[in-house]
Amino acid sequence: MNITIRKANEADFEPIFALIYELATFEKAAGKVRNSVERMREEQDFFECFVAQKDDGEIVGMALYYFAYYTWVGKSLYLDDLYVKATCRGQKIGTQLLNEIFAVAKKTHCKRVRWQVLHWNQPAIDLYKKCGADIDEAWHNCDFDENGIVQFFV
């Protein structure tokens, strides 16, 4: 199977969203997906994405990222989601997507690339360790959803 890694465009949002939902299902959290293709169109200035595309045009993987600023290190690239369809895993597509992410980080002079992995996703952990990632188990996520933001009061 030949795979092309390329920058996503707005025409790719529907298959990207399908991958997002497939990833959420894989992570046993499909009910938490609040995003939509329409919202992605409205908010497309806030993220960038690479897709892995087969010769027949099917998009089988994605790496969605954005730039962030971390006080300890400065400009960083945050990889929000890296996902490859189950039927296409084991063919180094995830590695190809990571290579593109790191090429962007180098080109834009990022001081850090960061992402998260679920503690039970051993195949992903193994890939990231093989690549040399430092997996920090000391930090916990702190999240407020849209409702929590509106109701926040200290």
Q: Which residue has the higher pLDDT, 1 or 30?
A: 30
Position 145 scores a pLDDT of: 80
3-state secondary structure of 25: helix
Rounded to two decimals, what is the model's pTM?
A: 0.92
Into which CATH architecture does domain 3-151 fall? 3-Layer(aba) Sandwich (3.40)
* Residue 91 backbone class (left: φ over 0; alpha: ψ -120 to 50; beta: rest): alpha
**pLDDT, tens digit, 9 for 90 and up, residues 39-60:** 999 999 999 999 999 999 999 9
Domain ranges of the chain: 3-151
**pLDDT, tens digit, 9 for 90 and up, residues 80-116:** 999 999 999 999 999 999 999 999 999 999 999 999 9
Please say whether the beta carbons of 12 and 58 come within 8 A: no
Q: What is the dihedral of CA 20, 97, 77, 49, to 10 degrees?
A: -50
Catalytic residues: 128
DSSP string, 67-113: EEEETTTEEEEEEEEEEE-GGGTTSSHHHHHHHHHHHHHHHTT-SEE
